[in-house]
Amino acid sequence: MGITVLNDVIVPNSIISRGVRGKQLRKNARAQVQSGEMQINIGWSHTLRRYEIGIIPLSVAQWQTLEGMHEVTDGGAYGMLMEDPKDLAVAAAAGLLYPYTTALTGTIGLGYGVPAYKLYKRYTSIGSTRTRDRPITRPQATPTLKRDAATVTLGAAAGNAAINYDTGTATFVADSSSPVTGVTVGATTQVTLTAALSGLAIGGRLYLSGLTGADAATLNGLSHAITNITGGGLNVYTLSTVTTGLTITAAGSGYKYPQASEALTWSGRFYVPVHFENDEIDWELVVSGAEAGRFMAGPNVVLMEVRE
């Protein structure tokens, strides 16, 4: 089980502004063969960030704040939040939403007919088309979401969205929905709704939830590609999902969420979840004298990013 991060314990800027030294860490296995060639196997598929604080003396009050964080996190048994002093915000050009069901799906930066999306930040090598996308699990309030360049309202009305600040998940309210009145299984699947969903077209994706029957999980909680739309009210959707021989009963509803033709981006500030890397923190009184003028240094106060 991963480290629990306390979202109300935040490293104050009064400590960060005194000075931070850090590293970007990867784990590659490196070996040099007899011919002199290097062989490298990638161990981690992601970068972790490491921060050393207290390298520049802190006032007694600042040091007591640091000790307080060490105490309330039980010496690093729990995590906390901090701003990376060099990387704490994302612009819409680099902030992308990644469709999510039980795992990442679809294409990053585009809708997929599902309600939930993870926040990511894209890093680009200048002069190259190579990119790397980093999950952002701890956005700060309040990020800006864009749907085809239009700002998405954070709320509970149709087309609005909500942000989970502990997971970095944006969840959309459906644009529209309609009860399912019929399901025909087969090499393709026909789903009949009470009424057509405006804006859903062939090539789009219909999200289904609440169906019953032994095999309802094949359709529930997922979006499905629409290959045809028929019926007098254009309310019969043919889906590419194969359900031959399965038992699925009409119930629940169909929903329209952001489609694959729509760009989904975000912008805002974010925290890095961290924990004290060591059980102990060192300290040294480097400027003595009267209490008001004392300064403390910590040669081994290290915060390590928590992978969530």
Q: pTM for this one?
A: 0.94
> What topology does CATH give the domain 177-255?
Elongation Factor Tu (Ef-tu); domain 3 (2.40.30)
Structure token digits, residue 225: 């590609």
For the chain, what is the radius of gyration of the CA atoms?
Answer: 25
Give the SS3 label for residue 23: strand
User: Is pLDDT at 16 greater than 80 in this prediction?
Assistant: yes
pLDDT, tens digit (0-9, with 9 covering 90-100), for 199-215: 999 999 999 999 999 99
- Report the chain's mean pLDDT, rounded to a whole number: 95
Judge: domain 5-30+39-85+272-305, CATH 3.30.70.
yes
Residue-level pLDDT at 51: 96
Q: Domain-by-domain residue ranges, the chain?
A: 5-30+39-85+272-305, 89-174+263-269, 177-255
d(CA 142, CA 283): 37
pLDDT-derived band at 134 (thresholds 50, 70, 90) equals: very high
CA neighbor of 191 nearest in space, from 249, 133, 274, 258: 249
Residue 163 has pLDDT above 90, yes or no: yes
pLDDT above 90 for 68: yes
Name the strand (E) or helix (H) holding 147: strand 144-147
SS3 291: helix
Q: What is the DSSP string of 186-230?
A: SSSEEEEESS--TT--TTSEEEEE--BSTTGGGTTTEEEEEEEEE
Please answer whether residues 298 and 285 qualify as being in contact, where contact means their C-beta atoms are separated by less than 8 angstroms: no
**Element holding 72 (H helix, E strand):** helix 60-72
Query: Residue 185: its pLDDT value, please?
Result: 98
Confidence of residue 291 (pLDDT cuts 50, 70, 90): confident
- Over residues 140-158, mean pLDDT: 97
User: In the prediction, which pLDDT does 292 show?
Assistant: 85
Q: pLDDT value at position 35?
A: 87
Residue 1: pLDDT band with limits 50, 70, 90 = low
